[in-house]
Structure 1
């Protein structure tokens, strides 16, 4: 009997079409699978393909007695209760490889956009008033020679570091387990404790997963430590930053600005954030390129095949 795969969101079908007759793949009829479709298929489903940003509720898992694998489409897996799945003997995986470079690319773009006031100036030139050009007008901040502090130096953090170093920045980092000296030397980065990193960085870029330790880790106390000329960039998860503390820091000029791709209560973006001239905001598009989405679908399909061939040795997040 073919392994039944229930895909909860309309994603590219590349990869899935190559699985062959050993697999039956059910895609939603619309953008998101309906409750009726879930009820129709969940009782005989072996694999659920969940999608980042879309919560997979435990009661859905409970309705799937044959469920063996939750293949999450995305590097972040906070949309799945991985401990609950583990208790039920269900493996949960993610797709980190395809998302690394595009997310780092956006983080670097946000740094440049907020420091060089790209968003603000782009908006102003489109108004009737426009902008006045002049030698000492429209001044912004160059990043060359400045210090980037990366919090969470995993694959995306490292890719961001490479871009920053190539643009002439110095890079310091903080993570739970520091790199060994050889890798630090290879990447040209230096470890700092969090307090020192916040105090010394001209740009702080967040690349941590969302968990109990990182939820709200950047709050009032952390903004107080930062330079009032510094910028913060978040392409990780919204709740890593306390949004009220962020808005307070912006309002009181504790920091110079923020570049944000993620928010506390997505898809809602606080109206107060929209009013600041020194913020650049994007709607959670760190991995939103067609190339990336297709690569993610191919990797999910490969993970499913490896799982049933009993040679899945990576990508497991609840092992």
Structure 2
């Protein structure tokens, strides 16, 4: 009898076929894992779970007595209650080292889109409003030679700095828990206080992981410190920003605009206030969403899962203490 695996919001048939050869795989998409009866029944026999954004908390673990590994198909793993998993001997894995360049492309892309008003002016053309030469009402702002402030100079933050420095001759300020000497040397990035980043940057790009310390890191005070001409970019997690404060900052013209790929609650509802502003670029959490990158992540997630179920140490084990 094959061991049971649950695939949750896991897209790639190429990788699912590999699993089906060895395991009894059940697929779940767009369900509520707290209430779906089929999922809850399958959870009782599941030895492994692979997928995206499944909340693995005490309640779920109580319902999964045979669970050995949860393979997250993402770099982040704030959906996993790692301490609780470790207590129960359940391994957790993620897929780092795959999406960094792809995400940096996307975040710098929405920065450009906001600065040059690309989505807004695309609609300007498509709606038939381009009938004469452009006036000041349609003008955008330059990106080159401006100052980019990066909050969270990890791998993706560094790659955004690389694009800004070499592609657009931008000055780089950054704030991070630890000095990033490579970014300072290669991209002439300047390590400074959060306040200086906010006060001096033309573009403020938030790239921190979500932790108790970074939740609502950017709020009313921080928006008031920014230039009125600044564009705020969030490529981290939605809960790192106080969305009510962001909405007020845009409404009151405390900042010039925003470019957002993440939100406190996803997906956004069509009536969400952020969707009412033409100077806010909104993308649906597209950071790693290219076919090539998502397939690489899926393959790595399956590799981690199979290793754990075979009694081996997965390459990307988050909680190695579980092996003890």
User: TM-score when scaled to structure 2?
Assistant: 0.88
Summarize the Cα distance change of 1:25–1:94 in structure 2 as closer, same or farther, 3 Å threshold. farther
Residues 36-62 of structure 1 show CA distances to partners (whole Å, capped at 9, x for unaligned) of 43244322222111412x434432221
CA RMSD, Structure 1 to Structure 2 (Å): 2.4
Partner of 2:172: 171
Q: Map of 1:87-166 to 2, 5 A cutoff?
A: 87-130=87-130, 132-134=132-134, 136=136, 138-166=138-166
* Structure 1 portions without partners, runs of 5+: none
Displacement of 1:132: 3.8
Q: Tell me, what secondary structure is at the counterpart of 1:15?
A: helix
In 2, Cα distance between equivalents of 1:25 and 1:33: 21
Contact kept in structure 1, 2:101 and 2:159, CA below 8 Å:
yes
Q: Is the 8 A contact 1:14 1:297 kept in 2?
A: no
Q: Any residues of structure 2 matched to 1:175-254 within 5 Å, and which?
A: 175-179=176-180, 181-182=181-182, 184-254=184-254
Cα distance in 2 between the residues matched to 1:147 and 1:178: 19
For the pair 1:314 / 2:316, whether they are aligned, the reply is yes
1:204: Cα distance to partner?
1.0
Q: Does structure 2 retain, via aligned residues, the 8 Å contact 1:261–1:282?
A: yes
Residues 19 and 129 (structure 1), Cα distance of their counterparts in 2 relative to 1, 3 Å cut = closer
- Quote the Cα distance in structure 2 between the aligned partners of 1:187 and 1:5: 45
Contact 2:70 2:305 in 1 (8 A): no
Query: Which residue is equivalent to 1:51?
Result: 52
Q: Alpha-carbon deviations, 1:83-117, whole Å to 9, x = none?
A: 22222222211112222122111101111000011
Kept in 2, the 8 Å contact 1:16–1:25? The answer is no
Residues 274 and 30 (structure 1 numbering): CA distance in 2 closer, same or farther, change over 3 Å? closer
TM-score (norm 1): 0.89
Cα deviation digits, residues 241-264 of structure 1 (max 9, x gap): 101110111111111100011111
Q: Which whole-Å CA distance do the structure 2 matches of 1:104 and 1:43 have between them?
A: 40
1:288 is the counterpart of 2:289: yes
Kindly tell me the number of residue pairs found equivalent between the two proteins.
316
Tell me, in whole angstroms, the C-alpha distance in 2 between the residues paired with 1:302 and 1:187.
35
Deviations 1:122-146 (A, max 9, x none): 1222224346424756221111101
**CA 1:182/1:112 → structure 2, altered by over 3 Å: closer, same or farther?**
closer
Paired position in structure 1 for 2:7: 7
SS at 1:245 equivalent: helix
Provide the rounded CA distance (Å) in 2 between the counterparts of 1:5 and 1:312.
Answer: 16
